[in-house]
Structure 1
Amino acid sequence: MKAKSAFLQIVFLVAIMTFMALPALAQLPPEIPREDTLIVDQIFRYSTPDNYNIWTTAGTEATRHAFGWDTLWYIDQQTGEWINAVAAERPIYNEDFTEMTVKMRDGLYWSDGVELTSEDLVTTINILKANPGMRWSSELALYVEDVTAVDDYTVKFTLTRPNPRFHYYFTVRWNGVYVMPAHIWKDVENPLEYTFNPPVSLGAYVLRETDPAGYWEIWELREDWERTTTGVIAGKPGPKYILTIFHGPNEKKVMAMSNHELDILMDLDYEAFQALINRNRRARSWYKDFPWAWTDEADTRVFAINQEKFPLNLKDVRWALALALDIVEIQTEYVGGVTRVTPIPQPASVFHMEHYHKQYVPWLKELKLDLGSGEFFVPFDETIPFKIADWAREQGYDIPEDEEAIINMFGVGWWKHAPDVATKLLEINGFTRDSSGNWLLPDGTPWKISIIAAPDEADAYRLAMGAMDQWEDFGIAVEIETLERNPFYTREHMGDYDISSTWGMAGGGNANFVRDKWPFMHNFHTQFYAPIGQASLQNHMRIRSEKLDEIIDKLSNLPPEHPDVPALEEEFFKHWVENMFGIHTVSFKKFITFDETYWTNFPASENPHAQPNYWFMGGKFMYPYLEKSGR
């Protein structure tokens, strides 16, 4: 098995991918004091750094949208708190959910001194509806019949059909419909091409300087920060300056934080994290000890499978790929054993484990695959978490003996490593092996698979390496296409891939603490389908299923709290698993690591005051609570 060489391969490939280049900003400008500046891992290099039109895919959202953009509501991913932001109160529906009224907060201002009013929200909706290709355009065109400003701070939506979840489009997990400054956008002739540069900010920060090469940006606290949603809600300003900077591969991030030149970073691979905390005694992640990482982000890691690529369009082939994987080795050797496995398209957070994973175990144990000729196979393996626990004990970690505690730590189970069964599934579909044991397609040509992966998403890349190693051992020719983040997204949206080692296909619009998965599910309705070569932001796997359509349509007509919702969700997830539309592997974990040399009061397990994933739009509510260390 090739797992033992995986880390060296990853370091080598990541180094090539990022050209081992130093960011263009070697030090802060002299007029910006280090003690007033929070330095943030930018995650990736912006390929279009001068484009701030994040209502299109040409503009980059990550990290930026927490500084200068805003929307109506948020749900904090850690605390579960509902936050009224641009909206002053929760959405107001009429009895049949065909109208939604928004009461907007008064006293909010754009960074150029213009007050935010209902005209801004109305203009936003009308522009997005009228311009296919912009974010949320298809959804708003589908559901919005009319939108009107009742007064300066009240907006009324008239919907084309009942939709008790329409407010989800304006409720942030990752993002929500960004409100546009009407006084800027109403005169824009081509909203798809407009770069919105310099951006007029609705957030607490304004853009001060950008690297033309996309490696860094400096944002400065607005003088009138009290007139923004974070100012109103938190009542605190936050750091005066925020520098976002892309250092490149993990070893450079470790070096920067070891030298106190990086205050918070998104993620590291396991080895890099260990190296960092050994070099910098003030650096830590969510937990102070094993498993260290934050494990409650509402996403899963998934091998997304392009359903329009032969032979991946065959259910048996997708199952064969899953059964050819050894999840224990992948979870331990490739991601350090610090997260939970998940056999369903839901994150294995504490909340989701209780409401989904544990509830579905009896069904998972009864699930059978038809191998033909009257032979069936039970694929679920509930011993997986205990095998991972044994590995962790061998590493010297303190692991409880209680079975429930082990399940809570490592998940409910996953699919058996059964290459013999995978072989049968392929053979009944006409696959054969050559004299070297390599798989041939039914037409006799070699079976080759390409996996696209972005190395700045550490776990996704390592999982791709694990899959490549194990599928090659099984006899499939596999290559990894290493892509920077923007081209990675483009390839996904256009369907230009076989398998994508990706994320985000899980919790949907309402993070933890909300048992309603319609925001995730509705993306897979065939009304959002687009063939390969046409952009599909919602369903890049090109799934088409009448059964899923039927379930989604039923859910769409029920309010989130309706008693029939859990049963319909279960039906959806069972159909997904039976067809193995995507191979979900592990729940998200992030070594979100912070250095307390200059700043303290970061969210942590003993102080979980806000979500720590700062690059999400809701990360904006972390910044005001950071405190200078005085060092």
Structure 2
Amino acid sequence: MKRSIYLIMLSLIISASLACAGETVTETIVEEKIVEVPVDREVIKEVEVEVEKVVTKEKIVEKIVPPPDYKPGNRGDVARDDTLIITGFGPGATQWEGFDNLNPYSLGGLGRVRGILNKTIYEYMYYYNHNTGEQIPWLATSYDTHADGMGVDVTLRDGIEWSDGVAFTCDDVKYTIELLRDTEELVFASDMNEWVKDVDCKDDHNFTINLNKPNVRFFYFYFVENSEIHIQILPKHVWEKEDPLEFNNWDPDKGYPVGTGPYVAVEASAQGQIFDRNDAWWASKVGFSHQPVPLRIAYIPPGSADTAAARTINNEFDVASIMQPGVFLAAKSKNPNVKSWAVEGPSWGAADACLYTLGLNTQWGAMSDVNVRRAINRTVDREKLVMLAYESSTVARGIPYSTYGGLLAYEQKQADLIAKYDPTKHDLAEAADHMALSGWTKDGDGMYTKDGAKFTFDLHVPGWLKPMGPVLEKQFKDGGFDTTFVLHDPDNAPMFDKVRTGNADAWVVVHCGSSNEPWGTLQHYHSKFAAPSQGEMNSYIWGNSHYNNPDYDAIIDQMDAVPGDPNSAEYMALADQALEYFLKDITEVTLAEERHVVTFNDTYWKGMMSANDPYVAPYSLWAAFIQVVLNVSKAQ
């Protein structure tokens, strides 16, 4: 016999802390939750007695009660153990350029947003946990895409306020989206112009985004996932008075930038940007969220890779830069508080919806023969590639999906199809059989020849993917292909010109796509993205295979109108057909998952996400990282 009892015991400890105006009262709320009470039976002197075993969980949160005259601003001196220090996601920068431009939509705005503004100043309609596929309502409480894909109905959360105390309403949403739609120089303007007809406000909290053409994924793509794309809502009452192209959105005396986030910007210099907690943050006032514990967030340049690692070891960064696996292990050996996503190696890094791929030109040149592409695929030894190039810090992959939780359900449904083609299989004998079908045989030196000529191709590799170049070159040579590794470093523009115009045979790139359903990557192989003819630029950065198959296009055209759902027979039938073409035609050779060794230091702050506690993806560039800011608590 078992029964569960759910109780909440609250004890309030009242303390006081000084804010920049008046006295802010801090109520420390200890929530002690009895999450389960299993009952066992013990027999004592022939009498059954129920013995309760209580499992408790304790969570300490703070409710901030600012005085009536409170205004967010600079807190003055703040102790190190009250400051969360975040550095650049990747090492390199020794100072912040344009530190006093906090305009999220002018030139360079996306970099500013992903650097720090999306964790401090701006919040989003939804957040997304890539690890689980969970959509987390935030500024919005719900959205409903019209059956014909021509619009989205959205409801905003009650009680949202801007940092200056003005109510956040549909007028702000309408202003922002239509400003982007109509101002071509702003970031994401072309997207909004292509898709958005208008925004129709029903009242302050309910609105419809009307589209120019059907798109069942519009809201998810632009307002939920928030990794590469960020559409932050602007305060109409501030921005309508400014030129959006010239406004730098920085004036701490006026409280700029005005946002809905839990922090306000108080200092900016080439050495760092400083954000102090807003004790009047709307989410705390209405009981939607507790206040973040850090009183201050400092965004500090990382310096070189060696400098960034040394500063992390020295406890100067809490959210640190990515490291190479060997560098991370050395740092961890010197300071056990240096952590990454995985608790155990050798694959310390985290998935990021991107894959290392061997691109092949399916339309022109040596790789346009499908038998050759099949042979190339069987020649690659992915396990050795991962071991030699990346110290086994990632995992081999054969399909164009990340290992994110939102995609695993689809991959499981397609397991039999994947097994049928066994894309990661390394088999030189089978490769030779495929080559023979197109008249290629090995000469006395073990190299493929036909009509007296060797099979020759260049393998183009950008500098940041250099470790894979020599490994693949050797594998291809050992397999009978006369291959030359061509490194493009530091200038990789000539490489991408050749690739995108159909003048390269083979190349190594990172291909980013699906984060929650197969369509996200599979649609990149539609012929509409291929170059119209060899020598002309293609229309999309991921359309480099130049694949041209009308039957495949028809499948993707149908998938465009069907929302992703692993339990939808219609969707899965189309996904299976598309994946089968990918595997059969070797549209691209998926090599391994891109996994960055993201690093943290928990000397001052505990509660960072990890593979054991995957409440959010560990990428500080992505908007959902605000969940980390809200989750951390003092380590001491």
TM-score normalised over the length of structure 1 = 0.71
Deviations 1:28-72 (A, max 9, x none): x99453223222341245796456555477331533333333331
Q: Which position in structure 1 is the counterpart of 2:591? A: 585
**Structure 2: distance between partners of 1:135 and 1:126:** 13
1:481-496 equivalences in 2 (<5 Å): 481-483=488-490
Distance of aligned partners of 1:603 and 1:445 in 2 relative to their CA distance in 1, 3 Å threshold: closer
1:286 aligns with 2:290: no
1:334 aligns with 2:375: no
Q: Which position in structure 2 is the counterpart of 1:549? A: 553
Of 261, 266, 281, 1:203 maps to: 261
State the Cα distance separating 1:563 from its structure 2 match: 2.5
1:607 aligns with 2:608: no
Of 450, 454, 457, 2:460 maps to: 450
Q: Which moved more, 1:292-301 or 1:530-539?
A: 530-539
Secondary structure of the residue aligned to 1:62 is helix
Figure out how many residues of one structure are paired with residues of the other and give that number: 540
Read off the aligned partner of 1:415 and give its amino acid letter. Answer: K
State the Cα distance separating 1:179 from its structure 2 match: 2.3
Deviations 1:431-483 (A, max 9, x none): 999999799999999743321243xxxxx553455335545665322222234
State the Cα distance separating 1:229 from its structure 2 match: 9.2
Secondary structure of the residue aligned to 1:40 is strand
**Structure 2: distance between partners of 1:209 and 1:523:** 42
Read off the aligned partner of 2:619 and give its amino acid letter. Answer: N
1:623 aligns with 2:629: yes
1:576 aligns with 2:629: no
Q: Which position in structure 1 is the counterpart of 2:486? A: 479
1:218 aligns with 2:273: yes
Secondary structure of the residue aligned to 2:384 is helix
**Structure 1: distance between partners of 2:286 and 2:368:** 50
**Structure 2: distance between partners of 1:140 and 1:465:** 43
**Structure 1: distance between partners of 2:376 and 2:171:** 52
Read off the aligned partner of 1:247 and give its amino acid letter. Answer: P
Read off the aligned partner of 1:128 and give its amino acid letter. Answer: L
Read off the aligned partner of 1:227 and give its amino acid letter. Answer: W
Distance of aligned partners of 1:35 and 1:541 in 2 relative to their CA distance in 1, 3 Å threshold: farther
Q: Which position in structure 2 is the counterpart of 1:38? A: 84
Q: Which position in structure 2 is the counterpart of 1:418? A: 428
Q: Structure 1 unaligned segments of length 5 or more: list them.
A: 1-28, 368-379, 381-412, 455-459, 511-515
Read off the aligned partner of 2:217 and give its amino acid letter. Answer: R
Distance of aligned partners of 1:365 and 1:70 in 2 relative to their CA distance in 1, 3 Å threshold: same
Distance of aligned partners of 1:94 and 1:289 in 2 relative to their CA distance in 1, 3 Å threshold: closer
Question: Which has the larger helix fraction?
Answer: 1
State the Cα distance separating 1:246 from its structure 2 match: 4.5
State the Cα distance separating 1:171 from its structure 2 match: 1.0
Q: Which moved more, 1:200-209 or 1:308-317?
A: 308-317
Deviations 1:573-603 (A, max 9, x none): 2222333333212224333332221111112
**Structure 1: distance between partners of 2:634 and 2:456:** 60
**CA contact under 8 A between 2:123 and 2:139: conserved in structure 1?**
yes
Q: Which position in structure 2 is the counterpart of 1:401? A: none
Secondary structure of the residue aligned to 2:540 is coil
Read off the aligned partner of 1:34 and give its amino acid letter. Answer: R
**CA contact under 8 A between 2:469 and 2:485: conserved in structure 1?**
no
**Structure 2: distance between partners of 1:500 and 1:201:** 43
Read off the aligned partner of 2:634 and give its amino acid letter. Answer: K
**CA contact under 8 A between 2:460 and 2:495: conserved in structure 1?**
no
Distance of aligned partners of 1:469 and 1:444 in 2 relative to their CA distance in 1, 3 Å threshold: closer
**Structure 1: distance between partners of 2:243 and 2:551:** 42
Read off the aligned partner of 2:205 and give its amino acid letter. Answer: Y
**Structure 2: distance between partners of 1:158 and 1:354:** 31
Q: Which moved more, 1:96-105 or 1:45-54?
A: 45-54
**Structure 2: distance between partners of 1:603 and 1:595:** 12
**CA contact under 8 A between 1:108 and 1:229: conserved in structure 2?**
no
Question: Which has the larger strand fraction?
Answer: 2
Q: Which moved more, 1:217-226 or 1:127-136?
A: 127-136
1:70 aligns with 2:116: no
Distance of aligned partners of 1:363 and 1:429 in 2 relative to their CA distance in 1, 3 Å threshold: same
**CA contact under 8 A between 1:468 and 1:479: conserved in structure 2?**
no
Read off the aligned partner of 1:35 and give its amino acid letter. Answer: D
Deviations 1:100-138 (A, max 9, x none): 211122433344554322122222322333355755545
1:242 aligns with 2:307: no
Distance of aligned partners of 1:235 and 1:524 in 2 relative to their CA distance in 1, 3 Å threshold: farther
State the Cα distance separating 1:567 from its structure 2 match: 1.6
Of 122, 128, 145, 2:180 maps to: 128
Q: Which position in structure 1 is the counterpart of 2:402? A: 347
Q: Which position in structure 2 is the counterpart of 1:402? A: none
**CA contact under 8 A between 1:77 and 1:173: conserved in structure 2?**
no
**Structure 2: distance between partners of 1:118 and 1:210:** 31
**Structure 2: distance between partners of 1:269 and 1:489:** 25
RCO higher in structure (CA 8 A, sep ≥6): 1
1:116-515 equivalences in 2 (<5 Å): 116-131=168-183, 136-169=188-221, 170-174=223-227, 175-186=229-240, 191=245, 199-210=257-268, 212=270, 217-224=272-279, 226-227=281-282, 233-247=288-302, 250-291=305-346, 293-305=348-360, 310-311=365-366, 315-316=370-371, 318-349=373-404, 352-353=407-408, 355-356=410-411, 358-367=412-421, 380=422, 414-418=424-428, 421=431, 425=435, 428=438, 447-454=457-464, 460-464=465-469, 466-468=471-473, 470-471=475-476, 474-483=481-490, 498=504, 501-503=508-510, 505-508=512-515, 510=516
State the Cα distance separating 1:564 from its structure 2 match: 0.8
Read off the aligned partner of 1:74 and give its amino acid letter. Answer: Y
Deviations 1:406-435 (A, max 9, x none): xxxxxxx71315388379649948999999
Distance of aligned partners of 1:190 and 1:594 in 2 relative to their CA distance in 1, 3 Å threshold: closer
State the Cα distance separating 1:231 from its structure 2 match: 9.3
